Chain A
Amino acid sequence: MNEYFEKYFIKATVSEPIRDVDQSSKPFISYLVTTETDNPSLIKLTTKVTETQIKVSVRRRYGDFRNLYHCLNNDFPFLLIPPLPSKSNLKYLTGDTFSQEFVHKRLNSLNRFIKFINGHKILSQSSVYHLFLSDSNDWLSFSKNIKISNISDVEKEQSFTSNMVNKVVNEELIAETVMNFLTPSKHKKETNKEILEITDKLKKMYENLLKLDKIFARLSKKNSDLSIDYHLFSQQIEKLAVVNETCNTDLVSINDNFKFFAECLNQYSENWSKSFTFINESFLTSLKDCSKYIVNLTNLIELQHNKKIDLQVLQEYLDKARNELNSFPATSSGQGTHRLPPSPIKNKTGGIVNNTTQLIRDTLSTSANGNISSSNTETKRAKLEAKVHQLEHEVELQTNLVQELINKITNEEYPNWDKFNKTELKSSMLELCDNQIDFYKGLVDNWNDTESKLMKRINELT
């Protein structure tokens, strides 16, 4: 896979949202996903099998993106899956999902979603993604089929990992609560130095992004206020022109002055409004998305953390079992199990963590069953030995898993995110910069023109 990532490119972008209607004539928005690639494993799946470099475009709607997201989440539990823009239930209620603002914000986020996958070594080579990009009908039939399993999946996920999903859904509320994991109490328990460092950095970045987000939200609001102000000015000046026209027939030349100036003000007002739209729809969305990516990465770290706790519990249990085994002839059977520590994981949540919890539960129940059913100490002993063996195996497995996860995070997922975050922030600053340059450039040119017109008139007067 790595080779493919190095060797071939995939360039995919999302654009051109249009309003469409499905079979039951319910309106929806579809987005154009355009892909350029020379990746053979992707080309294979398209209708242009024979070519070596292709450009395909398909229309996908939000649900398709969500299916892709869920598939990736299922297939790569240990990777940072980019967050999707929120489903925004509230907006569905107000019927605002077709407003330009909403669609543009979503478009920007979807684009970022795709961009992240493109830049990811493993995700970009996943067949689900390739299927999603390809223009064959496979994705449609495939996504229809996974829909059923997905729904149950989603439900399961929502009940189990309500934390995680909520974080993404309540986009506007990504506030401090989300950063639970980064609170000092949890922080202290974390022992891995590298992970500690990473969480530190993430925290800093996240807090700053939140602050910026708030300030820019206020700034964009002010931009819109200024736009309204200048519009009001322009209206009044236009009125002056009308008054002049009706009351002062011998001073018609004045009207032109007023009209020129009103036009200027109008342009100024429009530019402020454009600046508002840009900051609101593009820049702010990018800041919000960046912080959501951090949240997702933090979730991954939290998963690692929980895994470690599970491992500890498992280890403790193993120790207990060994003790029990060692002291077996002396002590009576039942007490050992009764003294087993209550599973601390019960209230822990998280998709993968669940497996371990299940495992521990299973072991607990087998041991309990063993206690009750057997009267024969020999069988008990044999069972205990088997359990210890099983636990040892499990601990080893889990240790490897945790180590692998830590390695993944520190060596791949974090650097990858860091790179992505950097380019994202850079490009949004650059975009803002370009936007501002446009803002001023158009004005300077136009106002030069008006200035010379007014100058001419004032020279006539004096």
Chain B
Amino acid sequence: MDHPFDIEQDNNPSLYGNSFQDDQYFNKSLSVSSTLHKLLASSTLQIEIAQTEKLINSNIIVYLIKVFDSETTDHIIVKRRYSEFKSFRDNLLKLYPTKLIPPIPEKHSLLSYVLNSINANNEVELIGFRKRFFNQFMIDLIAVRFLNSSPFLQKFLDPNYELCWNNALNESPISNLPKSLLLSNPLDPTDQNGLYLLLPKINSFHNNNLSELYKLNLDPLSHMNDSLLRLSNQINFAKFPVNEFVTIPTNIINFETYILHNLKILKNLHKYNAGHIKNFKLLLSIMINLGGNLNNFSLEIYELNTHLSNLIEKFGSIIDLNFLNFENFLFENFIPHWHETITQLYQYFNIALNLLNFYKYKILQFKILFNTKFAIFNQLTNLNTSLSVNDLNHLNELNSPSINNLVKSYQSRGSLRTKKSWFRVFGGSNATAASSLPSPALSAKANNSSSTPSTPDNPDARIKIEYLERELNKLDQLIDLMNHDLVSLTKEIDHNLGEFAKLIEKKWLEVFLNFIQSTKQLFIENLSNWQEFKDAFEC
């Protein structure tokens, strides 16, 4: 089996130009790819960040990802740098907006900021921190089993893509992603259905930056549920076809409060951790000082009192030993396992909040569709009322159930002139929702014509009506689509949050266990030290 490093070298086109031997190259790269396939499909798949390296002549740090199988000797090593991890994760999020993609360290995380201010030697600590974080990221990632078959993940781990990661970003499936995730199928953004492009945009939803969504302040889900309820009342009132998607399940609403509470607590814990680490370091420096002083003490009184001097020396060495145990606990256990896991958990909850915010945007979009529909409907009514009742009959032939409904209700009530405009009834004044569908010019025209009633055979009015009919038709299609999407999205989110809760429980358990086991180890070692000291008294 070829060593992966050789392949990496061969793989660099810039080094060899076109002169390398094609056959050999392809064979090698193919064998690597097939090994990777095999590994990713294995149930005993293992992954870790084996080590870090500084690239020659640069300050770039690369992290060596080792993919291996605990049952066989197959393994793949690929080098990735921070920015590649970041673009990988960002694009994963876009590909799977409903999944909870594990976090990577923030570029300027709170921790690295603190480290920077405290320690001049921070680079090593930062790299160590990122290494552990990426390690956890990869492990969490492959634990989401279905991702293992994702071609994008495979490219990330494929040494053939090591030096041409940008290619991977420009190929399918990434190239198939729409400009805005809101204008796509939430369950599969690469879905090429053209209808999605017609969905309304929402201005506050920035450039697809899914990882920042948690920073946006949106209404809590429980409020959204109330407005959904009002919407469905309106729909009933207008006798529109009833939606499948009516409310947000209480499960998800509860989950939002759960996330917010957790974030608050985790933030506190993070703060206390920082304080605790500071205290612990002070304790360590005191212990060093104490050990040194006790040793000195024992030397100074050695001639006066050998026995006491020996005891004090022993005392000093016990303090030194305990110091080592405490130091080991802090740097090998408390910081990497407890403190950093809590940082990670904090990010995880933000990711969950991201997901909920994405969900909220989809619901907002859904509402905008309805508002648009109500607005157009209002215009239509206004236009129609300028025609005689009899004239409405020809509308029956239109293939629009909503118009038919309207016509029916219009005919049964005789006249709509005395009623409030539909527009107001359905809260069409909610213009904050920046909808792209009703063109301002069109609505202006429609208002114009309604304010100056036209003659029955006005051809302008007919054209407008036909135009609005088409719009309405399209809207109904979109509503249908979104309705369907929202139902499955809700199901998916509910499921994913359930998985998330399990993951969190497991993470907490692991943190607790690690804390307990490592402190227990600390206790046992310190205890035996002290017991040894006690024995020294007895002899």
Chain A positions within 8 Å of B, measured between CB atoms, are 201, 204-205, 208, 211-212, 215-216, 218-219, 222, 225-226, 229, 232-233, 236, 239-240, 243-244, 246-248, 251, 254, 257-258, 260-261, 264, 268, 418, 422, 425-426, 429-430, 433-434, 436-437, 440-441, 443-444, 447-448, 450-451, 454-455, 457-458, 461-462
User: Which 3 A-B pairs have CB atoms at the shortest separation, nearest pair first?
Assistant: A247-B258, A440-B527, A243-B261
| Residue B305 at the chain A interface, CB threshold 8 Å | yes
29 contacts between A and B (CB under 8 A): A212-B290, A212-B297, A215-B290, A219-B287, A219-B290, A225-B279, A225-B282, A226-B276, A226-B279, A229-B276, A236-B268, A239-B261, A251-B501, A258-B508, A261-B515, A422-B307, A429-B311, A430-B534, A437-B527, A437-B530, A437-B531, A441-B527, A447-B523, A454-B509, A454-B512, A454-B513, A455-B513, A458-B509, A462-B506
- Bound CA span A211–B316, Å: 14
What are the residues of chain A within 8 A of B287 when measuring CB–CB? 219
Partner of A222, one of B265, B282, B515, B524: B282
What are the residues of chain B within 8 A of A236 when measuring CB–CB? 265, 268-269, 272
- Given the known interface contacts A243-B265, A251-B501, A454-B512, the answer about A437 and B255 at a Cβ–Cβ threshold of 8 Å is no
Given A215-B286, A436-B526, 14 additional A-B pairs, CB 8 A: A205-B304, A229-B276, A233-B269, A236-B265, A236-B268, A240-B508, A247-B257, A248-B255, A429-B311, A433-B533, A434-B534, A436-B530, A461-B502, A461-B509
Q: How far is the CB of B374 from chain A (nearest CB, A)?
A: 35
Q: How far is the CB of B238 from chain A (nearest CB, A)?
A: 36
Contacting pair B524 A444 (CB below 8 A): yes
What are the residues of chain A within 8 A of B269 when measuring CB–CB? 233, 236
Q: How far is the CB of B194 from chain A (nearest CB, A)?
A: 41
Mask, B290-311, CB within 8 Å of A = 1, is 1001101100110011011001
Contacting pair A458 B506 (CB below 8 A): yes
Q: How far is the CB of B269 from chain A (nearest CB, A)?
A: 5
| Residue B280 at the chain A interface, CB threshold 8 Å | yes
- Bound CA span A461–B506, Å: 7
What are the residues of chain A within 8 A of B261 when measuring CB–CB? 239, 243, 247
| Residue B315 at the chain A interface, CB threshold 8 Å | yes
What are the residues of chain B within 8 A of A232 when measuring CB–CB? 268, 272
Contacting pair B265 A239 (CB below 8 A): yes
Taking CB as reference atom, which chain A residue is nearest B520? A447
Taking CB as reference atom, which chain B residue is nearest A223? B283
Contacting pair A458 B513 (CB below 8 A): yes
- Bound CA span A455–B517, Å: 11
What are the residues of chain B within 8 A of A264 when measuring CB–CB? 516
| Residue B510 at the chain A interface, CB threshold 8 Å | yes
What are the residues of chain A within 8 A of B526 when measuring CB–CB? 436, 440
- Bound CA span A462–B537, Å: 49
What are the residues of chain A within 8 A of B282 when measuring CB–CB? 222, 225
| Residue B262 at the chain A interface, CB threshold 8 Å | yes
What are the residues of chain A within 8 A of B283 when measuring CB–CB? 219, 222, 226
Q: How far is the CB of B496 from chain A (nearest CB, A)?
A: 15
What are the residues of chain B within 8 A of A454 when measuring CB–CB? 509, 512-513, 516
Q: How far is the CB of A52 from chain B (nearest CB, A)?
A: 34
| Residue B505 at the chain A interface, CB threshold 8 Å | yes
- Bound CA span A441–B255, Å: 41
Q: How far is the CB of B189 from chain A (nearest CB, A)?
A: 30
- Bound CA span A216–B531, Å: 21
Taking CB as reference atom, which chain A residue is nearest B290? A215
Mask, B489-525, CB within 8 Å of A = 1, is 0000000000001100110111011011101100110
Contacting pair A215 B300 (CB below 8 A): no
| Residue B70 at the chain A interface, CB threshold 8 Å | no
Q: How far is the CB of B316 from chain A (nearest CB, A)?
A: 11
Partner of B508, one of A225, A243, A257: A257
Partner of B301, one of A205, A219, A248: A205
Taking CB as reference atom, which chain A residue is nearest B522? A440
What are the residues of chain B within 8 A of A218 when measuring CB–CB? 286
Contacting pair A451 B305 (CB below 8 A): no
Which B152-166 residues have C-beta < 8 A from chain A?
Answer: none
Chain B positions within 8 Å of A, measured between CB atoms, are 254-255, 257-258, 261-262, 265, 268-269, 272, 275-276, 279-280, 282-283, 286-287, 289-290, 293-294, 296-297, 300-301, 304-305, 307-308, 311-312, 315, 501-502, 505-506, 508-510, 512-513, 515-517, 519-520, 523-524, 526-527, 530-531, 533-534, 537
What are the residues of chain A within 8 A of B523 when measuring CB–CB? 440, 443-444, 447
- Bound CA span A236–B269, Å: 7
What are the residues of chain B within 8 A of A212 when measuring CB–CB? 290, 293-294, 297
What are the residues of chain B within 8 A of A201 when measuring CB–CB? 301, 304
Contacting pair B506 A204 (CB below 8 A): no
Describe A's contact surface by its main secondary structure: helix
- Given the known interface contacts A247-B261, A440-B530, the answer about A261 and B304 at a Cβ–Cβ threshold of 8 Å is no
What are the residues of chain A within 8 A of B262 when measuring CB–CB? 240, 243
Q: How far is the CB of A274 from chain B (nearest CB, A)?
A: 14
What are the residues of chain A within 8 A of B533 when measuring CB–CB? 429, 433
Q: How far is the CB of B297 from chain A (nearest CB, A)?
A: 4
Max chain B Cβ within 10 angstroms of own Cβ: one of A246, A264, A425, A440: A440
- Bound CA span A117–B62, Å: 72
What are the residues of chain B within 8 A of A248 when measuring CB–CB? 254-255, 258, 501
Q: How far is the CB of A197 from chain B (nearest CB, A)?
A: 10
Taking CB as reference atom, which chain B residue is nearest A418? B305
Q: How far is the CB of A294 from chain B (nearest CB, A)?
A: 13
Taking CB as reference atom, which chain B residue is nearest A212? B293
Partner of B509, one of A243, A247, A257: A257
Contacting pair A216 B290 (CB below 8 A): yes
Taking CB as reference atom, which chain B residue is nearest A224? B279
What are the residues of chain A within 8 A of B517 when measuring CB–CB? 451
Taking CB as reference atom, which chain A residue is nearest B536? A433
- Bound CA span A457–B505, Å: 10
Contacting pair B272 A433 (CB below 8 A): no
- Bound CA span A451–B305, Å: 46
Contacting pair A215 B293 (CB below 8 A): yes
- Given the known interface contacts A222-B283, A444-B523, A444-B524, the answer about A450 and B272 at a Cβ–Cβ threshold of 8 Å is no
Contacting pair B293 A243 (CB below 8 A): no
- Bound CA span A205–B501, Å: 61
- Bound CA span A458–B524, Å: 24
What are the residues of chain A within 8 A of B254 when measuring CB–CB? 247-248
Q: How far is the CB of B356 from chain A (nearest CB, A)?
A: 13
Partner of A429, one of B257, B315, B513: B315
Contacting pair B513 A208 (CB below 8 A): no
Contacting pair B286 A219 (CB below 8 A): yes
- Given the known interface contacts A219-B286, A222-B283, A257-B508, the answer about A433 and B530 at a Cβ–Cβ threshold of 8 Å is yes
Contacting pair B519 A447 (CB below 8 A): yes
Q: How far is the CB of B360 from chain A (nearest CB, A)?
A: 18
Q: How far is the CB of A74 from chain B (nearest CB, A)?
A: 32
Contacting pair B290 A457 (CB below 8 A): no
- Bound CA span A108–B501, Å: 54
What are the residues of chain B within 8 A of A444 when measuring CB–CB? 520, 523-524, 527
What are the residues of chain B within 8 A of A258 when measuring CB–CB? 508
- Given the known interface contacts A229-B272, A248-B254, the answer about A257 and B512 at a Cβ–Cβ threshold of 8 Å is yes
- Bound CA span A211–B537, Å: 23
Q: How far is the CB of B255 from chain A (nearest CB, A)?
A: 7
- Given the known interface contacts A219-B290, A430-B537, A451-B517, the answer about A226 and B512 at a Cβ–Cβ threshold of 8 Å is no
What are the residues of chain A within 8 A of B294 when measuring CB–CB? 212
Partner of A461, one of B258, B296, B505, B512: B505
- Bound CA span A250–B115, Å: 40
What are the residues of chain A within 8 A of B530 when measuring CB–CB? 433, 436-437, 440
- Given the known interface contacts A222-B286, A236-B272, A248-B258, the answer about A451 and B506 at a Cβ–Cβ threshold of 8 Å is no
- Given the known interface contacts A211-B293, A440-B523, A455-B513, the answer about A243 and B258 at a Cβ–Cβ threshold of 8 Å is yes
- Bound CA span A243–B512, Å: 18
- Bound CA span A448–B524, Å: 11
Q: How far is the CB of A231 from chain B (nearest CB, A)?
A: 10
- Bound CA span A434–B527, Å: 10
